Amino acid sequence: MSDAHDTPGCCDALAIDPAIRRDALARLRSIRGHVEGIVRMLERDDVYCVDALKQIKAVQGGLAKTSDTILRGHLKHHVVTAHERGDDDAIVAELMDVLKYR
């Protein structure tokens, strides 16, 4: 999806809250390490499929938690103030678009 919110430097008021960004980055760095571990696991010939599936499920859970954190911040900091900014229709459309992928 490409719109004005994707433009660097645009809409700084709609940027991810710094604390949420730090938390999401820490989680994603951990997930990246976990994915690298799964790749190493799958490069071996003796890996039990259920063990690999458990690790993949853990990564999916981590991604879901990261997504939920960012979504909660978006709702708290941007959606509730959309009417004041006059972009409530755009925010609702944007949110509906992103939620169809959940």
pLDDT at 6: 47
Check if the beta carbon of residue 89 is closer than 8 Å to that of residue 3. no
Domain 15-99 sits in CATH at 1.20.58.1000
pLDDT at 11: 55
Check if the beta carbon of residue 29 is closer than 8 Å to that of residue 40. no
pLDDT at 84: 87
Residue 101 DSSP symbol:
T
Q: What is the mean pLDDT of each run of 10 residues along the chain (102 residues)?
A: 44 83 97 98 97 97 96 89 88 88 70
pLDDT at 80: 86
pLDDT at 5: 52
d(CA 13, CA 67): 20
The domain locations on the chain are: 15-99
Give the Å distances, CA to CA, from 80 to 76, 84, 88. 6, 9, 9
pLDDT at 24: 97
